[in-house]
Structure 1
Amino acid sequence: MKPILAITMGDPAGVGPEIIVKALANPAIYEICRPFVVGDRRILERAREVTLLPLPIHEIEGPEEGCYAPGVIDLVALDLVPGDLPFGEVSATAGDAAFQFLKKAVELALEGRLQAIVTAPLNKEALHKGGHPYPGHTEILADLTGTKDYAMMLSAPNLKVIHLTTHMGLIDAIESITPERTYKVIRLAHEVLVRSGCSRPRVAVSAINPHAGENGLFGRGEEAEKLVPAIERARSEGVEVSGPYPADTVFNRALRGDFDIVVACYHDQGHVPVKVLGFEDGVNITVGLRGGVIRTSVDHGTAFDIAGKNLASPQSLIAAIRDAAELAPKE
């Protein structure tokens, strides 16, 4: 069966509603998954007018009622904002609505009624004004699902990268890496690919220092202290993992097919190759959430400056839907 995906509207004052309508106007989406939207009906109707795509809206109580037919948008409606909400403005009402859309999707996921969540962008300032002081989607998802061990994965054409650390300075990132964290991320990488149908994923671990430390010449022995014990532990449990490899070669090796996923040690080490490969095709993925649900996201923000102008491209959202369908549990 094709996986069921919830697409959350994100901030209703941004481009999320527009790109959702544009993406779901593509019949190819329905060949790989069964998508429904969690959002506001009035805002979705306005997005149809903006995009000149008058797709019928089929309002449902839950995913079991979806018709999942090309040309029809299935919608779990949480009518929380006025239909005349201004485009492109920070609003506490919109920020709270974005949170509530995500909360509803998580509830359905934890009930086992869908396999993945795809998120349109939210605005952090609006989110905070709405009473939800989270840094972003990932932290909300971890909190709502009661998850402690999770990781960010990025996906681009022919490359998947999972991160040991993300939004922190480089010195802090290196200090925070431990053998336990490295081991857990290796296991997350292995398990998400196994659940998605890859029977024996090949996991590569990128080094922290140039040339993987060159046997102690560069750095302070971080590879031997923070990475190697975790690699050996995971390998003893049957995980096909290797490294640490120099960062200036490991991503190219993954591109040519030597590895299925690369463990990056810090934010830019993993983000740069993905964004160079395909900025508009990059997808942000949260793995390790309780219940095994996958979350994917567009790799851009709310774009308030173009909201309501029918200028936003759905390409990143389509890529996020594609990756959610690919990575959703198959068992």
Structure 2
Amino acid sequence: MSPQSAPLAVTAGEPSGIGIDVTLAAFTRRQKLALPPFFLLGDPDMVAARAERLGVPLASEAIERPEQTAGVWQNGALPIMPLINRQIETPGRLDPANAAATIEAIDRAIAFAVAGDAGAVVTNPIDKKALYDAGFQHPGHTEYLADRCASLFGQPYTPVMLLAGPELSCVPVTIHIPIARVPERLTQVLIETTCRIVHEDLVSRLGYARPRLAVSGLNPHAGERGAIGSEDEDIIAPAVAKLALEGMAVVGPLPADTMFHPEARARYDVAICMYHDQALIPAKTLAFDETVNVTLGLPIVRTSPDHGTAADIAGTGRARPDSFIAALRMAARMAGAQTITAAHAPTARA
């Protein structure tokens, strides 16, 4: 099955959160919004219980293979691929018993994408604490996806988190680490690698001819030429200079406090930021309900809503599906361009 015709694989996410809520809301609007076909990896009983709680009329059908999605979709039913592990419908309340199914859904979605049976993976939010309690060893979704792909393809991958929104797209160079550890983890090689991955995927998967990257400084005012920290002069500036010599359209380091107003944003396509909140705060502030979390640097396409589990409103009908809908559309767009690029396509191990 080609990436263009393959359905999207959607994971149920943490059952105590709004993953199922937004999935159901999107499914009910599929015709009006012309959404791409997707199948859900989850527990049919759990999904039915959440639909009943929300008062959402739901026709669903269990499938065994992704290629069955098209027929079920055309018949107006939600295709659900049952999991081996059960999920319990517990809005607002974590249950450790759900952890195995949450991880199983991610693993199976990745396998379908690698095999070409799913055009892309769209993941609903997980609760890291719930998974940590069950033995999960990764900082988050992004790192876990990279590890699984490395196991399947026999080579390491450097995952890059892109927050793509209608007004701003940002990439954090360091992701899920304490702020105190950012300076020690920030290296010239890491910045260069991140920018190259962003450039490659924007060209091959999002259709940019020559992406413009704006690289932020780490310290206030980009260090004031070394007066407020040396990292900007010693690490970031040399990385930008080297990338520019390679022909990349890149500038920096720029003061982060003047990078995100409208006039500044018009001068670049993606802001490369030095740490998690430096990127995510402006992205979510400008378009919280429309921004999509995209993982670059992997041999598969993966997108996700940019919000968390929002367990406090799970099952209430208050969850907005806008970011999930945007994640579906972004996944379909990227899958239609090219799911596995030449740069990302080693021979998979048997």
What TM-score do you get using the length of structure 1 for normalisation?
0.88
1:323 alignment partner in structure 2:
330
1:298 alignment partner in structure 2:
305
1:200 to 177, 187, 210: 210
- Whole-angstrom distance in 2 between the partners of 1:298 and 1:192: 19
1:103 to 104, 107, 122: 107
Residues 1:77 and 2:113 are matched in the alignment = no
1:232 alignment partner in structure 2:
241
Unpaired runs of 5+ in structure 1? Answer: none
2:253 alignment partner in structure 1:
244
1:218 alignment partner in structure 2:
228
Q: Deviations over 1:66-89 (max 9, x none)?
A: 11448431222215226x644333
2:346 alignment partner in structure 1:
none
1:115 alignment partner in structure 2:
119
Q: Deviations over 1:43-63 (max 9, x none)?
A: 122232223332322332232
1:134 to 131, 134, 138: 138
Q: Deviations over 1:251-283 (max 9, x none)?
A: 236764211111001122112211221223333
SS, match of residue 251 in structure 1: coil
Query: Cα 1:239–1:31, aligned 2, differ >3 Å: closer, same or farther?
Result: farther
Query: Cα 1:88–1:272, aligned 2, differ >3 Å: closer, same or farther?
Result: closer
Report the CA distance between 1:128 and its aligned residue: 2.8
Q: Report if the CA contact (8 A) 1:117-1:295 is conserved.
A: yes
- Whole-angstrom distance in 2 between the partners of 1:294 and 1:180: 24
2:341 alignment partner in structure 1:
none
Q: Report if the CA contact (8 A) 1:109-1:115 is conserved.
A: yes
What TM-score do you get using the length of structure 2 for normalisation?
0.84
Residues 1:55 and 2:58 are matched in the alignment = yes
The one-letter amino acid of 1:12's match is P
Report the CA distance between 1:205 and its aligned residue: 0.8
- Whole-angstrom distance in 2 between the partners of 1:253 and 1:243: 18
Q: Which moved more, 1:27-36 or 1:14-23?
A: 27-36
1:11 alignment partner in structure 2:
14
Residues 1:286 and 2:295 are matched in the alignment = yes
- Whole-angstrom distance in 1 between the partners of 2:125 and 2:326: 14
Q: Report if the CA contact (8 A) 1:11-1:97 is conserved.
A: no
Q: Percent of pairs identical after alignment?
A: 37
Q: Which moved more, 1:154-163 or 1:3-12?
A: 3-12
- Whole-angstrom distance in 2 between the partners of 1:14 and 1:209: 36
The size of the alignment, in residue pairs, is 327
Q: Report if the CA contact (8 A) 1:2-1:32 is conserved.
A: no
Equivalent residue runs for 1:149-160 within 5 Å? 149-160=158-169
Q: Deviations over 1:132-169 (max 9, x none)?
A: 34332122212211144112221222211011112333
- Whole-angstrom distance in 2 between the partners of 1:238 and 1:29: 43
The one-letter amino acid of 1:177's match is L
Report the CA distance between 1:39 and its aligned residue: 1.1
Q: Report if the CA contact (8 A) 1:254-1:262 is conserved.
A: no
- Whole-angstrom distance in 2 between the partners of 1:3 and 1:193: 22
SS, match of residue 293 in structure 2: strand
Q: Report if the CA contact (8 A) 1:7-1:37 is conserved.
A: yes
Query: Cα 1:30–1:41, aligned 2, differ >3 Å: closer, same or farther?
Result: farther
1:314 to 317, 321, 332: 321
1:22 alignment partner in structure 2:
25
SS, match of residue 180 in structure 1: helix
The one-letter amino acid of 1:294's match is V
Unpaired runs of 5+ in structure 2? Answer: 151-155, 339-350
2:344 alignment partner in structure 1:
none
The one-letter amino acid of 2:266's match is G
Query: Cα 1:174–1:29, aligned 2, differ >3 Å: closer, same or farther?
Result: farther
Residues 1:172 and 2:181 are matched in the alignment = yes
